[in-house]
Amino acid sequence: MDQDKAFRRTLAGLAATAALLAGCGSETPEPAKTSAPAATTSPIPAAPSHIPVTQSEHEIFEKLYVEKCIKGQQNDPDNLVKNDQELGRICECMAKEISQRLSKADAVHFNQKGEFPFDLVIMSNQAANHCLGSP
């Protein structure tokens, strides 16, 4: 039972970390569309949702996500999972789970800026539930 309680507190911590890393609304809203052509100087081009994420983008995402996840949990004083190996297993599980549903736009945004778009925060919460529930 204590392990279950620890997992639940870790889940709350992981969700809080994802929300914290997401910036909680710090992203600027998309500017209103006008008839002028879009600027081509944007560092991250918008990607239609039907464009698949490349294997390389998946690998970069998973590596960066695991690093941010572990670092965020190590800095969380309320985190009950102190074992870095166990924390690594959970974060890696979450990265792989999210990577399966990752859109091209979210992958590009995260890989280039290291920020969590809102969709990624939601997927992080779902992945934490999945990964903490599996042995």
Q: What's the CA gap between 92 and 94, in Å, rounded?
A: 5
Regarding pTM above 0.75, the answer is no
pLDDT of residue 134: 56
pLDDT of residue 72: 87
Q: Which residues of 84-113 are buried (b: 16+ CB within 10 A; e: fewer)?
A: eeebeebbbbbbbbbbeebbbbbbbbbbee
Q: Which residues in the chain come in under a pLDDT of 70? A: 1-49, 134-135
pLDDT of residue 2: 52
pLDDT of residue 28: 37
pLDDT of residue 48: 54
